[in-house]
């Protein structure tokens, strides 16, 4: 007898991905998470807060419960979450009036921990703006097959950078600031002189600003396209350390960089949107800007050597870049290491500050690198110390010799 076929659940799960995404966008558009920010509400009160009738609001809330963004419980005060982990005090329960009374009794909905930490507008780690921008321009996805055949989308993000990148840069900044701060804490500022931090394709400058925060005497230089540079300037103006950040409008392929003058050069999520040769040239430009001992910091989503569901973020990010830009989509850690070696750098520690995100470093030989200086100062070694949320990957990505 032939073996029983597997369940079709994985196919449903893929279709559900589309539904989950748009349910989340609707919740953000309706301000549903903010409505629950100060405590649980029943369906009637939630419906009133978001301006939707109680049946429809209840079904959306049920979907968000299924997505683990909300919790639902019978009306017992005390279940819930705030932005860290403490449940907020339950307010007095609103009067029962909803049609969910016909089910298991009146339910109250509450924010789950993920929503409380990442989906409230204005939160320190908020991804609320990023949700809309992260898949790239939505209209590119239905034409993906044709894009893959043709080798480029019908319209590339870089054809009109001012139309897409400002919102993406603003959306990605809060969570990237958290990731960048974790990496900056691993590297120590040089002693006895003012350090220079260069951020190429800075966006809202989460990486440069995190380093300036961690290194109180350092100065920064952020390079951003003229169509997007207002976002960099806004971010610097709004940040307590932003007065130490100089902002230059121009392409990172062409602006004059301080040759041999930088202690850190950051390439934050820019190499994947470049064609391969341009990415390698950009690494060489960044390397030339480093002083001896200076460190190249590359934050990205490298292509895994063996695809797996554990690398979902990296793999789908790569497809997003192919769907929306003329870039290569993703490079491998080994590629970056080879480009860095070709530019005279020595590959160094690798970190994973966020799930799927990899931060690769490479250092110009000849001085005390920020990583080594951190060891000398007793804060961390050149090989990073494991800590929650910041995982050294040196053993996962051993130095490789794959050639172009």
Ligand X SMILES: C[S@@+](CC[C@H](N)C(=O)[O-])C[C@H]1O[C@@H](n2cnc3c(N)ncnc32)[C@H](O)[C@@H]1O
Q: What does the binding site for ligand X look like in residue numbers (CB under 6 A)?
A: 161, 165, 168-169, 172, 176, 201-203, 206-207, 223-225, 228, 251-253, 268-270, 299
Please identify, using beta-carbon distances, which residue of 28 and 247 lies nearer to ligand X: 247
Could you tell me the smallest distance in angstroms from the CB atom of residue 156 to ligand X?
A: 11
**Residue that has been written with the tokens 């049609």 in this structure:** 99
Could you tell me the smallest distance in angstroms from the CB atom of residue 253 to ligand X?
A: 5
Please identify, using beta-carbon distances, which residue of 32 and 202 lies nearer to ligand X: 202
Could you tell me the smallest distance in angstroms from the CB atom of residue 252 to ligand X?
A: 4
Give the C-alpha separation, 237 to 138, whole Å: 31
Query: Cα torsion at 330, 121, 389, 212 (round to 10°)?
Result: 80
Judge whether 108 and 46 are in contact, CB under 8 Å.
Answer: no
Please identify, using beta-carbon distances, which residue of 203 and 220 lies nearer to ligand X: 203
H or E element, residue 148: helix 144-150
Could you tell me the smallest distance in angstroms from the CB atom of residue 231 to ligand X?
A: 7
Please identify, using beta-carbon distances, which residue of 116 and 359 lies nearer to ligand X: 359
Question: What's the number of CA atoms in the CB half-sphere (13 Å) around residue 381?
Answer: 6
The stretches of 51-127 forming alpha helices (DSSP H) are 54-66, 113-118
Please identify, using beta-carbon distances, which residue of 206 and 347 lies nearer to ligand X: 206
Question: What's the number of CA atoms in the CB half-sphere (13 Å) around residue 266?
Answer: 30
Could you tell me the smallest distance in angstroms from the CB atom of residue 198 to ligand X?
A: 12
Query: Cα torsion at 121, 125, 129, 131 (round to 10°)?
Result: -120
Could you tell me the smallest distance in angstroms from the CB atom of residue 361 to ligand X?
A: 15
Please identify, using beta-carbon distances, which residue of 161 and 367 lies nearer to ligand X: 161
Judge whether 152 and 144 are in contact, CB under 8 Å.
Answer: no
**Surface-to-core class of residue 348, CB atoms within 10 Å of its CB (0-12 exposed, 13-18 middle, 19+ buried):** buried
Give the C-alpha separation, 296 to 301, whole Å: 16
Judge whether 324 and 140 are in contact, CB under 8 Å.
Answer: yes
Please identify, using beta-carbon distances, which residue of 109 and 331 lies nearer to ligand X: 331
Could you tell me the smallest distance in angstroms from the CB atom of residue 136 to ligand X?
A: 10
Length of the chain in residues, anyone?
Answer: 404
Please identify, using beta-carbon distances, which residue of 171 and 348 lies nearer to ligand X: 171
Judge whether 197 and 211 are in contact, CB under 8 Å.
Answer: yes
E strand intervals along 95-195:
107-111
Query: Cα torsion at 73, 74, 76, 81 (round to 10°)?
Result: 10
Please identify, using beta-carbon distances, which residue of 354 and 373 lies nearer to ligand X: 354
Could you tell me the smallest distance in angstroms from the CB atom of residue 161 to ligand X?
A: 5
Could you tell me the smallest distance in angstroms from the CB atom of residue 325 to ligand X?
A: 9
Could you tell me the smallest distance in angstroms from the CB atom of residue 269 to ligand X?
A: 4
Could you tell me the smallest distance in angstroms from the CB atom of residue 232 to ligand X?
A: 8
3-state secondary structure string, 243-263? HHEEEEECCCCCCCCCCCCEE
Helix/strand/coil for 264: strand
Please identify, using beta-carbon distances, which residue of 62 and 158 lies nearer to ligand X: 158
**Surface-to-core class of residue 76, CB atoms within 10 Å of its CB (0-12 exposed, 13-18 middle, 19+ buried):** exposed
Please identify, using beta-carbon distances, which residue of 79 and 284 lies nearer to ligand X: 284
Judge whether 144 and 323 are in contact, CB under 8 Å.
Answer: yes
């Amino acid at each position: 007898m032939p073996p029983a076929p597997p369940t079709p659940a994985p196919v449903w799960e893929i279709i559900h991905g589309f539904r989950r995404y748009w349910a989340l966008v609707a919740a953000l558009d309706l301000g549903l998470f903010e409505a629950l920010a100060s405590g649980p509400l029943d369906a009637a009160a939630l419906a009133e807060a978001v301006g939707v009738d109680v049946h429809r609001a209840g079904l959306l809330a049920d979907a968000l419960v299924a997505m683990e963004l909300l919790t639902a419980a019978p009306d017992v005060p005390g279940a819930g979450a705030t932005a860290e982990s403490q449940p907020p005090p339950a307010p007095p329960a609103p009067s029962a009036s909803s049609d969910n009374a016909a089910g298991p009794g009146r339910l109250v909905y509450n924010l789950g921990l993920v929503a409380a930490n990442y989906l409230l507008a204005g939160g320190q780690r908020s991804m609320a703006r990023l949700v809309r921008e992260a898949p790239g321009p939505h209209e590119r996805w239905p034409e993906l097959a044709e894009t893959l055949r043709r080798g480029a989308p019908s319209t590339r993000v870089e054809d009109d950078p001012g139309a897409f990148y400002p919102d993406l840069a603003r959306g990605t900044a809060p969570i990237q600031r958290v990731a960048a701060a974790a990496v900056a804490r691993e590297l120590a500022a040089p002693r006895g002189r003012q350090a220079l931090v260069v951020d190429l394709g800075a966006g809202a400058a989460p990486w440069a600003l995190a380093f300036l925060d961690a290194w109180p005497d350092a100065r920064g230089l952020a390079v951003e396209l003229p169509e997007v540079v207002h976002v960099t300037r806004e971010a610097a103006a709004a940040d307590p350390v932003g007065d130490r950040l100089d902002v230059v409008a121009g392409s990172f392929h062409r602006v004059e960089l301080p040759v041999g003058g930088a202690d850190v050069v950051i390439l934050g999520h820019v190499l994947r949107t470049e064609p391969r040769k341009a990415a390698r040239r950009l690494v060489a430009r960044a390397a030339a800007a480093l002083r001896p001992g200076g460190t190249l910091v590359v934050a990205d989503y490298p292509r895994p050597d063996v695809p797996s569901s554990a690398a979902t973020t990296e793999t789908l990010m790569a497809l997003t870049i192919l769907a929306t830009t003329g870039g290569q989509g993703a490079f491998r850690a080994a590629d970056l290491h080879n480009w860095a070696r070709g530019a005279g750098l020595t590959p160094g520690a690798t970190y994973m500050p966020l799930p799927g995100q990899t931060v690769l470093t490479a250092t110009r030989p000849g001085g005390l690198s920020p990583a080594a200086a951190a060891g000398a100062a007793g804060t961390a070694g050149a090989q990073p110390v494991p800590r929650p949320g910041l995982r050294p990957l040196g053993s996962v990505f051993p130095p490789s010799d794959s050639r172009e």
